[in-house]
Structure 1
Amino acid sequence: MENYVLIAVTETWWDESHYWSMVIDGYKLFKRVRQGRRGGGVALYAKTRIDCVELSFKSSNAQVKSLWVEIRHQVNEGKFMVGVYYRPSDQGDEVDEEFILQLQKPSCLQAPVWIADINHLDICWKSSTANCEQSRKLLECVEYIFLV
């Protein structure tokens, strides 16, 4: 594992009682634990030598489980963002809508690297098609910011 600079985890089943088991020597941990339900959290480990900071794209809906971290390149002073997202299959349209708004924020700043576990039964990612309007809206947003 020491060869990996970044490690993303989706659908974590962690809560604060598991903090001791989340630590990996040589890595900083950024995490979002899902409150009140099991599963669904997200995490990103970054090598401690990497200059990185968690970005605050807070959602008005606590059910949106996403995490954004800015990675700064020390040599050429460039930077990029890494986003980690989990969407459960039973997530409602309101939460999807809130996530779409959140996804549009970092895309305005810089091209993101996005790691996601999107359990959306109505979207066929292979053919980029969806049947219902809300599903198409999420798919179009993802395509618009060049994620597909």
Structure 2
Amino acid sequence: MKTEIADSEISIPAYQPFRKDRQNRQGGGVAVYVRTGISVVEREHTQALECESVWLKIKKANSHNLEFLAIYLPPNVLSGADDTLLSLVKEAASHQEVLIVGDFNSLQ
């Protein structure tokens, strides 16, 4: 995903895209699509330097909110990236209902 790619180019009918594009490097980026009509807020959070992530709070009727964190960690990143990523995951996991998904390439 790159900023030059408009939302209209990747749109899916009846879904709202949330995305974090890769900056200054090839490949990477992450996108999450949420069905229109679902109450969702994108959460501000610290981005780990070597990965892209989208953190959403999905408001569920008559229940706790669902925290949804999508992460892309590219292969062969700097060794300190795992600490930053772990902090982000721990913060998300501290909520009552959380779903963490992504592409977690192994650190070498």
TM-score category of the 2 structures, normalised to the smaller one:
0.7 to 0.9
Alignment gaps of 5+ in structure 1? 1-13, 123-148
The higher-RCO structure (CA 8 Å, 6+ apart) is: 2
1:82 aligns with 2:68: yes
CA-based RMSD = 1.6
Question: How many equivalent residue pairs?
Answer: 107
Name the structure where helix makes up a greater proportion of residues.
1
TM-score (structure 1 length as normaliser)? 0.66
Counterpart secondary structure, 1:105: helix
| Structure-2 separation of matches of 1:73 and 1:33 | 27
Instruction: Give, in whole Å, the separation in 1 of the partners of 2:51 and 2:94.
Output: 20
For structure 2, list consecutive stretches of 5 or more residues without a partner in the other structure: none
User: Matches of 1:121 and 1:32 in 2, distance apart?
Assistant: 21
Say whether the 8 Å CA contact 1:34–1:63 is kept in structure 2.
no
Runs (4+) off by over 6 Å: none
CA distance in 1, matches of 2:16, 2:79: 33
Task: Provide the rounded CA distance (Å) in 2 between the counterparts of 1:26 and 1:62.
Answer: 32
- Which has the larger Rg? 1
Alignment of 1:83-122 (within 5 A): 83-120=69-106
Percent same amino acid at aligned positions? Answer: 25
Query: Hey, what does 1:34 align to over in structure 2?
Result: 22
